[in-house]
Amino acid sequence: MVSVATTHVQQGQGRFAGLVWTLIRTDFKTRYHGTLGGFVWALLKPLTMFLVLLAVFSYVFASEPQYKFDLIIGLFLYEFFQESTKAGLLSIRAKGYLLTKAKFPSWIVVVTSASNAVITLALFSCVLVTFLALTGRAPTPLGVALYALYQALFFAIVAGFSLAASVLFMRYRDLNQVWEVITHAGFFIAPIIYPIGILPERVHAYLYAWPPTPIILFSRSVLLDGRTPSAFAHLLLFAVTAIIVGSGALIYRARAPRVLEEL
C-alpha cells in the first residue's frame, strides 16, 4: 500500500513538473513568436541594455565609477520586480481559459507567470558577473552564491505576492491600477537612484519595509563592495520573505475556490 501511494505521488509530481515546464516554454515561445531573432532576443535584451546603460552612465558619472554599477543593478532588479508582479497579478485572468480545459492547480499558472522575467534576470546576472570578472572586479564565490540566494528569495517574494494578488484581482479589478501606482512610487522608495546613506537613519527601517530595498542593497554589497550583510539582516530578510509567501498562500487558499466562478 505504501509503495502504491508513493508511486501515485511521484507520478503526480512528474505531471506537475511537466506542466510547469510546458507553461514556461509556451510563455517563452509566445513572447518571441513572429520575430526574426526568436529566442536570440532573450539573450540580446539584457546584454544590450547592460551595455547601453554602462556606456551612458560611464559618461554621465565618469567621476563616480561605483555609482554606475549601483544604478544598473538597482534598475534591473526593480524592473524584474515590476514586470514579474504585474504578470503574476494578471496571470489567472490572462490564462484562465487553461483552467477550464484541464484540471490542475491554478497556482501553477500564477507561479510560472514570471518565467520570462526570471529568464531575463538570470541572463542579466550572468552578463554582470562576467563583466565584473573581465574588468578585474570579480566578486568572490561566496558573493555570487549570496547574490543567487537573494534572487531566489526575490522570486519567492514575487510568488507570494502573485498568489494573493491574482485571486484578489478576480474580485477587485482596480487592483491592477492601484499596484501600478504603488510600484511607480516604490521606484523612489527603493534606493535605486540615490544612496540610502543620504537619508537619516530613522527612515531606513521604512525603506527596508519595501521588499526590493534589501534585495537591491544586499546584491550591491556582495557583488560590488565584497561585504556580507550581517546575520541579523539576513534573518530579517528571511522573515519578511516567509511572511509574504505565507500570507500570499493563505489568501490564495481562501479565494482560489471562487476563481472559476469569477472568470
Return d(Cα 119, Cα 101) in angstroms, integer.
Answer: 27
> What is the pLDDT, as a whole number, of residue 154?
96
Q: Please say whether the dihedral angle defined by the alpha carbons of residues 170, 209, 193 and 114, taken in this order, is positive or negative.
A: negative
What's the pLDDT tens digit per position in 175-223? 999 999 999 999 999 998 888 888 898 899 899 999 999 999 999 999 9
Is 2 domain-assigned?
A: no
> What is the pLDDT, as a whole number, of residue 115?
82
> What is the pLDDT, as a whole number, of residue 8?
44
Return d(Cα 91, Cα 160) in angstroms, integer.
Answer: 13
218 CB-near residues (< 8 Å, 6+ apart): 146, 150, 229, 233, 237
Is 226 domain-assigned?
A: yes
Is 14 domain-assigned?
A: no
H helix or E strand, kind and range, residue 240: helix 231-255
Give the three cell numbers for residue 155: 522570486
Is 7 domain-assigned?
A: no
Range of the domain at 214: 38-262
Q: What percent of the chain has pLDDT over 70?
A: 75
Residue predicted with more confidence, 99 or 158: 158
Mean pLDDT of the chain: 83
Residues of 242-252 as b/e, b for ≥16 C-beta within 10 angstroms? eebbeebeebb
Is 83 domain-assigned?
A: yes
What's the pLDDT tens digit per position in 142-153? 999 999 999 999
Q: Is 60 exceeded by the pLDDT of residue 168?
A: yes
Is 10 domain-assigned?
A: no
Q: Is 80 exceeded by the pLDDT of residue 233?
A: yes
Is 6 domain-assigned?
A: no
Is 29 domain-assigned?
A: no
Return d(Cα 143, Cα 18) in angstroms, integer.
Answer: 33
Residue predicted with more confidence, 42 or 255: 255
How distant is the alpha carbon of residue 179 from its chain centre? 15
What's the pLDDT tens digit per position in 21-59? 667 666 666 665 555 555 566 566 666 777 777 777 776
Report the number of distinct structural domains present in the chain.
Answer: 1
Provide mean pLDDT across the span 68-97: 88
Band of the pLDDT at 2, cuts 50, 70, 90?
A: very low
What's the pLDDT tens digit per position in 120-143? 889 889 989 998 999 888 999 999
